[in-house]
Amino acid sequence: MFSFNATKKLNVMKSIRYKSLTGLLLLIVSISSCRKGLLDPLPNDRVSENIFWNTENDALLATNALYTDLDSTNVITWDALTEIAHTNQNFDTQAFIELGSYDIANTKIYNEWSKAYRGIRAANYFLENVGKVPSSNTTLINRFKGEAKVLRAYQYIKLAGFFGDVPLITKTLSIAEAQQLTRTPITEIWDFIDKELSEASALLPATYGAADKGRITSGAAWALKARADLWAGRYQLAIDASNQVTGYSLYTSYQNLFKYAAENNSEVILDKQFLKDTYPHGVFALLAPYSQKNSQSYYVPTKALVDSYETAAGKAISDADSGFDPYHPYDNRDPRLRFSVFVDGDILPSGITFKPAPNSGSPDAVGSTYIASTTGYNIKKYINTEDYANPANSGINIILLRYAEVLLTKAEAKIELNQIDAEVYNAINTVRTSRSDVKLPPIPAALSQIQLRQIVRHERTVELAFEGLHLFDIRRWKTAETTMPGPVFGITYPDASNKLQTVQVVSFNRVFNSSRDYLWPIPQRETNLNTNLKQNPNW
């Protein structure tokens, strides 16, 4: 009973079905055939490890990257954990360290730990792989190795100073390996540093051409070794290493030492190099007074430091015959005071006068806002007028080691060994008298070891203030327990009735526990992840 029409319709239907099915299948086949790479996209926004380590230039590029692990403006934060400076904002995690209320979870401590090990890993990775580079220029490859070794030792010196015993890692680690680490006794860390720096010094040149200014020299290796040996109490080694640091001399102007014009001068042994716009930091915004485009005064000097500067005649201001006038406290002082610290009456980069007294009505007045300096002092080192236009874009190199430290290291080591001779006096007096703008009287002759120890410590404190050494010094000297506890004081100023008032940071009483605080705790995150890491005493 099928009609002709029905059959035709059915055929049409069949035909549609057939054609459509063929069409769909063709489409599916054709689209899928051109999608082979769907699951294997190769990133074009990064460089594969597999194509690297093929040329000398690869080795150079990898060496360059290692320098980014050097410290920079963060060295100032360490001084703010000592009596000479203060973290201005009471709610900063670093302020809790000052207060003694910090704990194993403190992020500042974790950050220093992880930053150091990041640098160590980068150097280990470099040293493991640089050998793959086919090169007949052994001198060049050795120089790269020397740079990497010094940069790695640099991190270990810091770690030993912060934490004491730390894991000594000399190869790249897997996660599992890192979870098995134990702390290496600090003496072995010092041994390693000594060995590495000695080896590196032989691989490195004494100087570089203009295009490579800022690279590690053999002098830098020796100077770091001197630093490490001093901290380790290996005084003779420190003296020997100091003697190897040649070709450097004190820069003629202390005031200009931290200015753009003096970058790469004869005193700088190691610095972190910066470049405005391209590789900048924000030291101006970090440290300059609040009136300077709302800069942050993040770390500020304290009365303890300011008072320790001698008078121009070389006397302590506490001396009855020093001639110190509390109404004009900054006159006739060691010139380094006003080269290092902004004090009342200074002209600021914007051209205005710095007026920190609480009753001055200035934006910088103590108490006007929590951002203004709470002590009435601001750090002046590295604060350059050139950076005022754009405070977060500073290109000034941050000095990590300069020749004055080497001189004082040598002097201190000799004093500790009681090798008191002309070299000791010479080293200290060079720092006090040889610059065009620092002409303090030489120290008196024929002092005892104890007197000289006091003098060299004082000299280090003022000469190297805010350069990241004082925290390690007070730990070595074990003076923190006496200098740290108590309130933090600032400027002394005449009130409305011309009576002298001294600024005290509100609600800030430092606590220092001598059985605990000479070493930082191993960060909680690390001990959680690796139970083999034993904690420091009393943490």
Partner 1 sequence: MLSMALALYSTLLFAETNNGRNIKETRIHLSLQHASLKTALQQVEQESGLLFICNKRLLNRYTSFTINKTDISVADALSLLLKETGITYQSKDHLVLFSRDESAAPAVKQSADVVIRGKVTDDKGLPLPGVTVKVKSATAAAVTDNEGNYQIRAADANVTLVFSYIYYKTQEIPVNGQQQVNVQMEASAEQLDAVVVVGYGTQKKTSLTSAVSQINGNLLVQRPVSNVQQSLQGLAPGVTVLDRGGAPGQSNATIRVRGITTFNINSSSTGGYNLDKNDALVIVDGIEQKLADINPDDIDNVSILKDAASTAIYGSRATNGVILITTKRAKENKLSINYNYYYASQNAINKPEMMGLEAYMRMQQVAYTNAGAALPARFTDESITTWVNATDREKYPLPNVWFDRVLRSAPMQNHSLSVAGGDDKIKTRLSARYMTQDGIAPNFKDEIKEVKLNTDYTAAKILKFTGDLNYRTNQATNPTVDPFNNLFHGSLWAVPKYADGTYGLSTQGNNPLMFAEIGGISTKFDDNLVANLKAELEILPGLKISTQYGARIQNIQQKNFTNAYSNTDKNTNITKTIANNSLTEVRNNLKEFTWNNLLTYDKTVGKSAFRGLIGHSEISNTQNYLTAYRERFYNNDVTSIGQGANDGTKSNAGYDAKFGLRSFFGRLNYSYDNKYLLEANGRYDGSSKFTGDKRYGFFPSFSAGWRISQESFWQSLSSTVNELKIRGSWGKTGNQSVDLYSYYSALALTTYTFGGVSVPGYRMSTLANTDLGWESTTQLDLGLDATFLNNRLSFTADYYRKVTNDILLNLGIPATVGLTAPPQNAGSVENKGFEFNAGYRGGNSEFKYNISGNVAINSNKVLDLKGTGPYITGSDIDPRYIVAKGMPVNTLWGYKTDGLFQTQAEINSYPTYAANSKPGDVKYVDLNNDGKIDANDMTAIGNPFPKYTFGLSGDFSYHSFDLNFLFQGAADVDTRLAGALAEMGNQEGFTSSVYTNNYWTPDNTGARFPRPLKFDLRNVATSDRLIIDGSYLRLKNVQLGYTLPKEVASKVHLSRIRVYVSATNVLTFSKLNEWKLDPEVESGRATYYPQTSLYTAGINVQF
How would you class 340 by CB atoms within 10 Å of its CB: exposed for 0-12, middle for 13-18, buried for 19 or more? buried
Least Å from the CB of residue 96 to partner 1: 7
Of 273 and 430, CB closest to partner 1: 273
Residues 504-533 that bind partner 1 (CB under 8 A): 504-509, 511, 523-526, 528-530
Residues 175-204 that bind partner 1 (CB under 8 A): 175, 178-179, 181
* 353 contacts partner 1 (rule: CB under 8 A): no
CA distances from 487 to 258, 506, 507 (A): 30, 9, 8
* 46 contacts partner 1 (rule: CB under 8 A): yes
* 498 contacts partner 1 (rule: CB under 8 A): no
* 173 contacts partner 1 (rule: CB under 8 A): yes
How far, in Å, CA of 109 to CA of 96, rounded?
11
Of 117 and 403, CB closest to partner 1: 117
* 49 contacts partner 1 (rule: CB under 8 A): yes
* 259 contacts partner 1 (rule: CB under 8 A): no
How far, in Å, CA of 463 to CA of 218, rounded?
24
**86 and 300 Cβ atoms separated by less than 8 Å:** yes
β-pair type (299-301, 85-87): antiparallel
How far, in Å, CA of 338 to CA of 254, rounded?
11
Residues 12-31 that bind partner 1 (CB under 8 A): 13, 16-17, 20-21, 24, 27-28, 31
The vertex-215 CA angle with 212 and 217, nearest 5°, equals 115
Of 123 and 230, CB closest to partner 1: 123
Task: Name which position in 122, 153, 224, 491 contacts partner 1 (CB under 8 A).
Answer: 122
Binding mask 384-423 for partner 1 (x = CB under 8 A): -----xx--x------------------------------
Query: Which range of residues in 50-58, 139-147, 400-408, 463-471 is near partner 1 by CB under 8 A?
Result: 50-58
Least Å from the CB of residue 470 to partner 1: 23
Task: Name which position in 107, 182, 207, 243 contacts partner 1 (CB under 8 A).
Answer: 107
Q: Which two tokens stand for residue 189?
A: 């860390």
Least Å from the CB of residue 67 to partner 1: 5
How far, in Å, CA of 54 to CA of 347, rounded?
55
Least Å from the CB of residue 403 to partner 1: 19
Query: Which range of residues in 98-106, 137-145, 224-232, 434-442 is near partner 1 by CB under 8 A?
Result: 98-106
* 482 contacts partner 1 (rule: CB under 8 A): no
How would you class 388 by CB atoms within 10 Å of its CB: exposed for 0-12, middle for 13-18, buried for 19 or more? middle
**In the block, residue with structure tokens 């005649």:** 313
CA distances from 537 to 164, 165, 185, 519, 522 (A): 11, 11, 14, 8, 10
DSSP state of 299: E
SS3 239: helix
Of 6 and 417, CB closest to partner 1: 6
* 213 contacts partner 1 (rule: CB under 8 A): yes
**In the block, residue with structure tokens 């060295």:** 75
How far, in Å, CA of 496 to CA of 428, rounded?
43
Residues 222-241 that bind partner 1 (CB under 8 A): none
Task: Name which position in 64, 249, 418, 448 contacts partner 1 (CB under 8 A).
Answer: 64
